[in-house]
């Protein structure tokens, strides 16, 4: 089967990581896999081991379907040419604007088109979400991969429920794994982190619509409470780097913050192991590879038990920490202070998280769900 993924960026991020994991597992099953993109480079060496890469069109922004529609047309035209060259049976997109581009291209070459939903549309794609019903984009999408909360959002916009295919939450527990304590401490020393400091981490894209700002606000609250032995370790890059630095300066956290910018994907595990607590904070988070990767590395993942129940699907119990959505930053600060004073609890939660990641969060299950939706027997190419 010829499968083409389309996601605009091949820099490090949650959606890119999931796309890569699916692509390499599909390729291992004998399917022909490629990834079309418009920008980025960080994940290129990893992806090229398992799938063909093809750059199409120009750099695309999330609002270009309104501001620069010619870029959308050019990307759709270029993607259609690639789909035709690959003799694609299926194209899988990963964003709102990507589903528009991929949908137009797929219809042109008569390939099937599925969207791999990686976010709450209401939160991250509010403009598209408002016009979803009348703009007709659903007519370009044959099916959606996601979880119940995002399906409810789409259903309110008139999307038929028969198009929904639920995926389990997943993480690569081979790439992301606990390192020996001696190696972890040695790496922390190379970063200038002392043994008595509690490291709070962020991994991924730095943009205003991501939750990194709330992680910074959490550290500010901790410092106002007199908790000074913290380090904020920020792994990743993006369009809001200057804005985030300005926020950190304004909140008086510059001396407590470490920026790495983008790092090679194979190095991310070391940075997560250098962290003690990895938060994903907003009133109603929707998944997040950052917390799943932290769990796989045996670190403490901290998030919010929002109305959608998305985090509760994989973070409830004794392997993660969830706080209520009411005053979630204050409640998160309470949890961090309690964990800071109890290293044994951190180790216990981290060990439980690792076991859960290995036993319950498999990408292989996601691949089987994709193949069933494509109408392809799981064991054939």
Q: Which domain holds residue 148?
A: 2-168+362-374
Q: Is 320 helix (H, G, I), strand (E, B) or coil?
A: coil
pLDDT tens digit sequence for 120-166: 898 888 889 999 999 899 999 999 999 999 999 999 999 999 999 99
Q: What is the C-alpha separation between 331 and 335, in angstroms, rounded?
A: 6
Please say whether the beta carbons of 178 and 253 come within 8 A.
no
Residue 68 has pLDDT above 90, yes or no: no
Q: Provide the terminal-to-terminal Cα distance of the chain, rounded to the nearest Å.
A: 5
Residue 381 belongs to a domain: no
Per-residue exposure over 139-156, b if at least 16 CB sit within 10 Å of its own CB, e if not: ebbbbbbbbebbbebbee
In a domain, 296, yes or no: yes
51 and 20 co-located in one domain:
yes
Asked if residue 288 has pLDDT above 90, the reply is: no
**How many domains is the chain partitioned into structurally?**
2
pLDDT tops 60 at residue 299: yes
Q: How confident is the model at residue 170 (pLDDT cuts 50, 70, 90)?
A: very high
Question: Is residue 75 domain-shared with residue 126, that is, in the same domain?
Answer: yes
Does residue 176 form part of some domain?
A: no
- Are 205 and 266 within one domain? yes
Sheet of 230-235, strand order: 257-261, 230-235, 198-203, 277-280, 300-304, 321-323
Let me know whether 328 and 306 are in one domain. Answer: yes
Indicate the average pLDDT of the chain: 93
Is there a single domain that holds both residue 38 and residue 158? yes
Residue 138 shares a structural domain with residue 194: no
Q: What's the pLDDT tens digit per position in 310-340? A: 999 999 889 999 999 999 999 999 999 999 9
Same domain membership, residue 60 and residue 34: yes
41 with 63, same domain? yes
118 close to 109: Cβ distance less than 8 angstroms: no
Read off the pTM. 0.82
> What pLDDT is stored for residue 64 in this prediction?
59
Q: What is the CATH number of the domain that holds 39?
A: 3.40.50.2000
């Amino acid at each position: 089967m010829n499968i083409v993924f389309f996601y605009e960026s091949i820099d490090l991020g949650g959606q890119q990581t999931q796309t890569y994991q699916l692509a390499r597992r599909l390729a291992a099953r004998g399917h022909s896999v490629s990834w079309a993109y418009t920008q980025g480079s960080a994940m290129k060496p990893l992806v090229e081991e398992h799938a063909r890469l093809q750059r199409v069109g120009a750099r695309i922004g999330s609002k270009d379907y309104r501001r620069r529609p010619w870029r959308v047309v050019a990307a759709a035209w270029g993607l259609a040419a690639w789909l035709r060259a690959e003799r694609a049976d299926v194209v899988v997109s990963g964003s709102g604007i990507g589903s528009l581009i991929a949908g137009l291209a797929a219809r042109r070459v008569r390939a099937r088109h599925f969207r791999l939903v990686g976010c709450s549309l209401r939160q991250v794609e509010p403009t598209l979400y408002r016009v979803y019903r009348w703009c007709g984009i659903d007519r370009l999408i044959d099916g959606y991969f996601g979880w119940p909360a995002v399906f409810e959002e789409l259903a309110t916009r008139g999307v038929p429920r028969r198009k929904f295919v639920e995926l389990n939450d997943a993480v690569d527990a081979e790439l992301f794994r606990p390192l020996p304590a001696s190696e972890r401490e040695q790496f922390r020393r190379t970063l200038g982190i002392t043994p008595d400091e509690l490291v709070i981490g962020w991994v991924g894209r730095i943009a205003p619509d991501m939750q990194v700002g709330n992680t910074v606000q959490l550290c500010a609250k901790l410092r106002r409470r007199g908790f000074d032995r913290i380090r904020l370790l920020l792994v990743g890059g993006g369009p809001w780097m200057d804005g985030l630095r300005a926020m950190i300066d304004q909140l008086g956290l510059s001396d407590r913050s470490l920026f790495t910018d983008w790092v090679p994907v194979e190095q991310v595990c070391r940075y997560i192991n250098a962290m003690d607590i990895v938060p994903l904070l907003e009133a109603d988070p929707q998944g997040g590879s950052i917390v799943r990767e932290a769990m796989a590395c045996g670190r403490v993942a901290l998030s919010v038990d929002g109305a959608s129940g998305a985090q509760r699907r994989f973070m409830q119990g004794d392997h993660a920490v969830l706080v209520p959505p009411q005053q979630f930053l204050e409640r998160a600060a309470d949890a961090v202070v309690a964990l800071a004073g109890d290293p044994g609890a951190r180790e216990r939660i981290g060990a439980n998280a690792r076991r859960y990641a290995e036993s319950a969060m498999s990408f292989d299950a996601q691949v089987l769900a994709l193949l069933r939706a494509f109408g392809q027997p799981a064991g054939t190419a």
